């Protein structure tokens, strides 16, 4: 195994250092990073199979969020003395990581890709969900897995009429807005929000504020790619030929849209099945 010299990268987010370290753990993954914010630390790994999965017509991406009780200084005390099933929070945080990265893989990719976030330490003030998104992007960017561009993510709070980047858990109790914004350099790719009856204008301005606040995270990942990034692989992409797409579109015309909007479920399914039969 080739030993890699650990390298650390740092940026200030909300006047607190966010550190990303690579080359320390998970050497055999295509890409792996440790992300630290406050005393919360997560390990994010990204792996891709060498060949496409046979018999699938979708991109087989799996994102897991692995909670660990030891991250909070606890040891399971149940009869089994082991970690239990994923909590609802872990499932939601995995989905929160999945949504912004999924559109940035090449269209037609059929290789299995697994992104796994493991919590190593949680300080109970800086939630690990935002670190998972950042770590997934960083791990994919420095890996040899095809990935379009880095993304950043921040949580935006609204306290006493002011937007706050990455409020701590204590601060969030006083916030009327819980907004997660993930985006590339030029666009917002994912928004997750909860609020206590704030005006629509506040939500829109919060999204703009969040997108601006995540730009330093993209700068940091671009620096990482220049320093430790691997050459990207060129996997086999399974794409439908343009001629086939054109022929199907011409054959269906407006009938597919009409069938999809039939109000009755049974009639709608029969109409769609008939179109498939004709096709």
Confidence of residue 247 (pLDDT cuts 50, 70, 90): confident
* pLDDT tens digits for range 78-104: 666 667 788 889 999 999 999 999 999
Give the pLDDT of residue 230.
93
Selection from 111-120, 228-237, 259-268 with the highest mean pLDDT? 111-120
Over residues 194-219, mean pLDDT: 94
Q: What is the pLDDT of residue 279?
A: 76
> pLDDT band for position 3 (50/70/90)?
low
State the pTM of this model: 0.87
Q: What is the dihedral of CA 135, 139, 145, 148, to 10 degrees?
A: 50
pLDDT at residue 79 in the model: 63
| Residue 180 scores a pLDDT above 80 | yes
* Pairs from 35-38 (Cβ < 8 Å, separation ≥ 24): 35/131, 35/132, 35/134, 35/135, 35/138, 36/131, 37/13, 37/126, 37/130, 37/131, 37/166, 38/123, 38/125, 38/126, 38/168
Cβ-based neighbours of 92, under 8 Å, separated by 6 or more: none
Q: What is the mean pLDDT of residues 181-202?
A: 93
H helices of 30-183, in order, are 88-101, 129-142, 169-172
What domains appear along the chain, each with residue ranges and CATH number? 7-228 (3.30.230.70), 242-278 (no CATH)
Res. 197 pLDDT band, cuts 50 70 90: confident
Mean per-residue pLDDT, 270-275: 88
Q: Give the mean pLDDT of 26-39.
A: 93
Q: Is 82 strand, coil or helix?
A: coil
Angle at 137 between CA 15 and CA 175, to 5 degrees: 45
Give the least confident one: 3-7, 63-67, 97-101, 199-203: 3-7
The mean pLDDT value for 32-53 works out to 94
Give the confidence band of 256 by pLDDT, cuts at 50, 70, 90.
confident
């Amino acid at each position: 195994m080739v030993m890699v010299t650990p390298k650390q990268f740092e940026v200030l987010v909300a006047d607190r250092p966010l550190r990303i370290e690579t080359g320390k753990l998970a050497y055999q993954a295509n890409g792996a990073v440790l992300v630290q914010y406050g005393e919360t630390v997560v390990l994010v790994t990204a792996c891709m199979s060498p060949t496409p999965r046979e018999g699938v017509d979708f991109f087989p991406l799996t994102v897991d969020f692995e909670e660990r009780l030891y991250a909070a200084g606890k040891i399971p005390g149940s009869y089994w003395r082991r970690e239990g099933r994923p909590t609802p929070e872990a499932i939601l945080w995995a989905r929160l990581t999945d949504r912004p990265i999924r559109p940035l893989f090449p269209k037609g990719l059929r290789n299995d890709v697994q992104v796994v976030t493991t919590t190593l330490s949680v300080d109970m003030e800086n939630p690990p969900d935002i670190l998972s998104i950042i770590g997934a992007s960083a791990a994919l960017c420095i890996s040899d897995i095809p990935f379009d561009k880095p993304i950043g993510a921040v949580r935006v709070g609204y306290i006493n009429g002011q937007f706050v980047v990455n409020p701590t858990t204590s601060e969030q109790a006083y916030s009327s807005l819980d907004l997660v914004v993930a985006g590339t350099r030029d666009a917002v790719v994912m928004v997750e929000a909860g609020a206590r009856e704030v005006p629509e204008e506040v939500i829109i301005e919060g999204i703009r504020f969040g997108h601006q606040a995540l730009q330093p995270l993209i700068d940091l990942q671009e620096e990482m790619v220049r320093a430790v990034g691997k050459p990207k692989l060129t996997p086999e992409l399974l794409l439908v030929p343009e001629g086939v797409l054109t022929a199907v579109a011409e054959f269906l015309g407006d009938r597919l849209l009409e069938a999809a909007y039939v109000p009755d479920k049974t009639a709608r399914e029969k109409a769609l099945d008939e179109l498939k039969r004709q096709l």
